[in-house]
Amino acid sequence: MRMKSFFAPTMTEAMELVRFEMGAQSIIVATRDEKDGAIITAAIEDTADNGLKKSEKLAPEEQPDFNPEDTVDVIRQSLSYHGSPVTLSERLAGNATDIVADSPTLALAAAMDEAFTFAPISALLTGKGKTQTAPRILIMGPPGAGKTITTAKLAALATLNKINPQVITTDCKRAGGIEQLAAFTRILKIDLLSIEDADGLSKLLEGTAKDTPVLIDSQGTNPFDRQEMGHLKSLASAAGAENVLVLAAGGDALEAAEIAREFSGIGATRLVVTRLDMTRRLGSILAAADAGKLSLSDVSINPDVAEGINPINPVSLARLIMPYTDNQQAGYSTMTDRHQTMTEARL
C-alpha cells in the first residue's frame, strides 16, 4: 500500500490533489485542519485481492467475489492474511456477526470500535484535545521503532498550531541520540534539554510552566531487560506524563503482543504506529493494542517530519486492512463521499 499526505489551503483543494495524483480508487486515511490550510493522508492499494503485489507475475487466479452475506468469513480471511492472532481474529469476527453495514470493511470498523479504544495523542497538541492543563507526553519503545522521529513530529505539530512545547531527551548514551533530535528542534527554534535520570527529570519539570506542553524522548529500551525497563519506569514515574508506546508495523504479532504487555506494565497507555508506508500486514499492531490494553492513537506514514503524524480511527484502520471490499461494496460514487464518511467517523 502506497501512502502520501497532501496539503492545500482548503479541504476541497486538498481533495482535488488526492484525486489528481492518486485517482478515484485512493482511500482517505486521515484528514486534519490546520491554521494555514488542510492536510489529507491518502492511500492507494498496490496489491491484488489476495494480498500479493500486482506487479508480481502470478499464475492465473480467480478473484474473490464478496457477498454481503459472507461478511464474517471475509473479515476472518482478511485478518488471517494480516497475521492477526487467531483468538483476536475470532473475537473481531464475532463482534461483526450482528452488525449491519454497507460493506465488510465498515463491519470490521464497527467490530474494532467495540474491541479497541482510539485516543489520538496528536489532538492534545492541536488544541482539540479535552484537557485543562498542557499535556506531558513520554515517548517510549524498543530501539529503532521511531521514537525520536515521533517526538519531532509531535513538536512540529505543536509549533504549527502556535504552541511552543518543551522538548526533553533522556537518550544520552546512544551515539548521535541527542544530535538527531537537536537537528529537528533547531529548525523549529525549540531549545532541546537533556537529562539522564529520574531525579534530574523531576527537578527539570518542577520549573516548567503548567501551560507548557512537554515532550520527552526516551532511549530505546529492551522490553525484556529488567534493568533497562526499571530505568524507564523511574523516568515515567518522575515525569507523571501520558506514556506513549511507539511500535513499527510489520513485525511478528506474538512478539509485538509480548512487547506491548511489557511496556504496558510500566505505564504505557497509548500506541503510535510507525513505518506504515513499508508494511503490508497489520496484524502485529492489532495484537499489540489488544495484549497491552493500549488505545490506538496515531500513525506515522514516513520518516519525513514535515508529513506529520495522523490520528487513526476504526474506519481508517479497517480500510487499511480491507480496502478491496470497501471499494467493491460501499457504494461510494465520489471521493467526496468517502471523505464525508471519514469525517463523520473521526473522534
**DSSP letter for each residue of 165-206:** -EEEE---SSTTHHHHHHHHHHHTT--EEE--SHHHHHHHHH
| 138 shares a domain with 243 | yes
| 133 shares a domain with 233 | yes
pLDDT at 32 over 70: yes
| 156 shares a domain with 103 | no
CB 156, CB 307: distance < 8 Å: no
| 135 shares a domain with 284 | yes
Query: What average pLDDT does the structure give for the chain?
Result: 82
| 289 shares a domain with 264 | yes
Tell me whether residue 172 is in a domain.
yes
pLDDT tens, position by position, 188-204: 888 899 898 999 999 99
Tell me whether residue 57 is in a domain.
no
Q: Alpha-carbon distance 262 to 63, whole Å?
A: 41
| 237 shares a domain with 89 | no
Tell me whether residue 202 is in a domain.
yes
Tell me whether residue 50 is in a domain.
no
| 326 shares a domain with 299 | no
* Alpha carbon distances (Å) from 181 to 12, 34, 310: 35, 24, 20
Please, which pLDDT band fits residue 263 given cuts at 50, 70 and 90? very high
Domain CATH for 140: 3.40.50.300
| 223 shares a domain with 107 | no
Residue 98 is part of which domain span? 68-115+320-345
Residue 137's contacts (CB-CB under 8 Å, 6 or more residues apart) are 121, 124, 154, 213, 214, 215, 216, 241, 242, 244
pLDDT at 64 over 50: no
| 161 shares a domain with 76 | no
CB 335, CB 27: distance < 8 Å: no
- H/E element, 9: none
Tell me whether residue 31 is in a domain.
yes
Tell me whether residue 60 is in a domain.
no
| 184 shares a domain with 80 | no
Tell me whether residue 261 is in a domain.
yes
| 8 shares a domain with 149 | no
pLDDT tens, position by position, 86-109: 999 999 999 998 888 888 899 999
What is the count of structural domains for the chain? 3
pLDDT at 63 over 80: no
The stretch 219-233 carries a mean pLDDT of 96
| 275 shares a domain with 181 | yes
